[in-house]
Structure 1
Amino acid sequence: MTYVAQSASAAADSQQAEQATIKDVVAAYVGLTKPRVIELLLLTTVPVMFFAARGIPELGLVVATVVGGALSAGSASAYNCVYDRDIDEQMRRTRRRALPRHIVSAGSALVFATVLAVLSTVVLALWVNWLSATLSLLANAFYVFVYTMLLKRRTTQNIVWGGLAGCFPALIGWTAVTGELAWTPVVLFLVVFFWTPPHTWALALRYREDYAGVDVPMLPVVKPAAEVGRQIVLYSWAMVATSLLLWPVAGTSWFYPAAAAVLGAVFLLEAHRMWGRARASDALADINPMRLFHSSNLYLSLLFVAVALDPLLTR
């Protein structure tokens, strides 16, 4: 019965691919880039540019950095979709992506990802600088080869170390303006590093059955919810403490540490509450991990808005 169902599903997908309109195909290619991920990455790039410029950076430079960064992130996501197309077909959260629906072939997606990577490097190298282009290319390669191909299906620490790729936009935003690295973007790099596990594990807790079904050892798959909650709390404390380091390291005004402290306190309260719910019950409906997931997006967004506003408010 399973074979028959799978065959019927494949036939339906094939028919759907034949009937796909140009609009469907364009939407599928856009979907390969995971636009929501790109938004999040750019959110940590542009504010850092404001901070590095100690004001408003040159518009042309911002546009070039945003375009180059978006192309790079889209390329990495497309490569990820190609490599993970086997498990994406089986997971509820991902089965509507372009490759599982057979709207785009794996070969076409691979070419698309490569073209985006080349364009990203060219844009950043020509209109930003070679350091930013190199960092962007390194982040792309790290996400594809280290996270997607090496870590994701092998270890519970996949997102901890694989998440390093998502920290690079802070470095890229800084180097785009200054042309060199410094301790300030490293602090922000670490903030994103410690933020990634709570953010991702909350989502993985919501979809732990999906990950278990495809043998991806995300922490919520191999550990009880209470332990996941404990790990989330530990990383959350490290994240908030690191965020406050920007004050002495970069010499910010009072505005940034005040905003970071308030935002951090609210996030820690939410993380502890989820841990408490996880200790009381293992049922997803009781734990409500998506509440923390959405809170993590809001936290990072507002924290980096504070990074951008701090130099503007003290000029």
Structure 2
Amino acid sequence: MTAAEPLTADWRDLLALTKPRVMTLVVFTGLCGLIVAPVRLPLVLAFTAVLCIALGAGAAAALNQWYEADLDALMKRTAGRPLPGKRMDKQAALHFGVGLGAFSVLLMGLATNVLAAGILAVSILFYVLIYTVWLKRRTAQNIVIGGAAGAFPPLIGWAAATGDVTLLPILLFAIIFLWTPPHFWALSLFIKSDYAAAGVPMLPVVSGFTSTRRHIALYTIPMIAAAMAPWVLRLTGLVYGMAAILLNLVFAAMALRVLRNRTRDTAAMQPEKQLFAYSIVYLFALFGALVADRLMPIGM
């Protein structure tokens, strides 16, 4: 292919732009927010609301990759994405992301309500403008503040069903917001060289391994508090409470193992790799327990 020939992306490249693996967790937490809400939407509208959350997340991911194509080209784990892999034109990615985002917000507003559509729009703009454009290349606290972008789905799901936002969805937002730093810092510890090569000031690059491990342990404490709050405040029942206790005990134990680890050899960072993997299971299981609690309550 010569430089003059247009790039021709196929459907797999468009799908890759939406980061489908990340979208899975986003859609799941949004669905959970919809299910635990006290109002039941008709099935078609509920499906549409979840679809809009997925499309909005995909749009934000596409715009993230459009803006960060230069960074992605410098990191091993992202170099094969459609833009750094030279399978797609940047303009096409921009148009795809903007169009998908606008469509998701418009459809959400028509299918459910203005509040849900507004929160969806804010989530997209927050991820693109606040996290991607403003924070990621400027501060090691990028993932702390930027973590809010991934915390919106339960709020959106709840608002789509009820037209309002109450304490429980705010707590669900807080859980994901506080979960994001230890989740991503665990990852950043064993791919530090990637971030360093791209010049991204992730915490291990700026402050080193010891400080990052300490931050993981410290942020685990408020995350656990937020995860326990729905049960402590009697917003959920025993099913959620018992699951939260067990899941948090395991998370705390794994975070402690990371804190005690002293290796600088990324190939030997098993505690960090295990915490990263478990953190994904943790969030799925915690929100799954929330749904189970709502569908088969056993009492407070």
TM bracket (short chain): over 0.9
Q: Identify the match of residue 278 of structure 2 among 287, 290, 295.
A: 295
Q: Which runs of 5+ in 1 are unaligned?
A: 1-10
| 1:286 lines up with 2:271 in the alignment | no
CA distance in structure 2 between the aligned counterparts of 1:76 and 1:17, rounded to whole angstroms: 25
Amino acid at match of 2:229: L
- Structure that is richer in helix per residue: 1
Partner of 2:31: 46
The answer to whether the 8 Å contact 2:30/2:157 transfers is yes
Structure 1 residues 87 and 227: alpha-carbon distance in aligned structure 2, compared to 1, 3 A threshold: same
Offset of residue 250 of structure 1: 5.0
- Distance between the aligned counterparts of 1:108 and 1:310, measured in 2? 44
For 1:202-246, what per-residue CA distance to the aligned partner results, in whole angstroms no more than 9, with x for missing partners? 111121111111111000111221211111111112111111111
Distance 1:271 1:102, change over 3 A: same
Contact 1:224 1:282 in 2 (8 A): no
- Residue 89 of structure 2 corresponds to residue 133 of structure 1: no
Q: CA RMSD in A?
A: 1.9
1:17–1:102 contact (8 Å) kept in structure 2: no
CA distance in 1, matches of 2:213, 2:266: 12
Aligned to 1:187: 171
Question: CA 1:193/1:49 → structure 2, altered by over 3 Å: closer, same or farther?
Answer: same
> In 2, Cα distance between the equivalents of 1:118 and 1:287?
42
Give the Cα separation in 2 of the matches to 1:82 and 1:197: 24
Deviations 1:170-204 (A, max 9, x none): 11111111110111111111100110001111111
**AA at the equivalent of 1:309:** A
TM-score of the superposition, structure 2-length normalised? Answer: 0.94
- How far, CA to CA, are the matches of 1:129 and 1:295 in structure 2? 35
Distance 2:6 2:72 in 1: 17
Q: 1:202 to 1:16 in 2, by over 3 A?
A: farther
Distance in 1 of aligned mates of 2:269 and 2:191: 13
Equivalent runs, 1:31-42 vs 2, <5 Å: 31-42=16-27
Q: Deviations over 1:13-39 (max 9, x none)?
A: x69986x6xxx6210111001011111
Q: Structure 2: which amino acid aligns with 1:199?
A: H
* One-letter amino acid of the counterpart of residue 304, structure 1: F
Other structure's SS at 1:44 match: helix
Cα distance between partner residues in 1 of 2:274 and 2:94: 35
SS at match of 2:82: coil
- List per-residue Cα deviations over 1:277-297 (Å, max 9, x = no partner): 1xx322223322221111000
Q: Which amino acid aligns with 1:39?
A: T
Mapping for residues 15-94 of structure 1, pairs under 5 Å: 25-53=10-38, 58-94=42-78
User: Aligned pair in 2 of structure 1 residues 126, 57: CA closer, same or farther (>3 Å)?
Assistant: closer
Kept in 2, the 8 Å contact 1:243–1:260? The answer is yes
Matched, 1:262 2:249: no
Counterpart secondary structure, 1:90:
coil
TM-score of the two chains, using structure 1 as the length reference: 0.90
| Structure 1 residue 49, shift from structure 2 partner | 1.5
| Paired amino acid for 2:59 | S
Q: Which residue of 1 aligns with 2:130?
A: 146
Structure 2 CA distance for partners of 1:305 and 1:142, relative to 1, 3 Å: same
Is the contact between residue 18 and residue 58 of structure 2 (CA under 8 Å) also seen in structure 1? yes
Provide the residue aligned with 1:8 in structure 2: none
Q: CA deviation at 1:248?
A: 3.7
Matched, 1:310 2:293: yes
Q: Within 5 Å, which residues of 2 pair with 1:151-190? A: 151-190=135-174
The question of whether the paired residues in 2 share the 8 Å contact of 1:45 and 1:172 is answered with yes
Cα distance in 2 for partners of 1:15, 1:248 equals 63
Pick closer, same or farther for the CA change 1:94–1:162 going to 2, 3 Å.
Answer: same
Alpha-carbon contact 1:48-1:307 (below 8 Å) kept: no
Distance in 1 between the 2:166 and 2:38 partners? 13
Q: Is the 2:59–2:100 contact (alpha carbons within 8 Å) kept by the matching residues of 1?
A: yes
Structure 1 stretch 69-78 or stretch 200-209: which is displaced more?
200-209
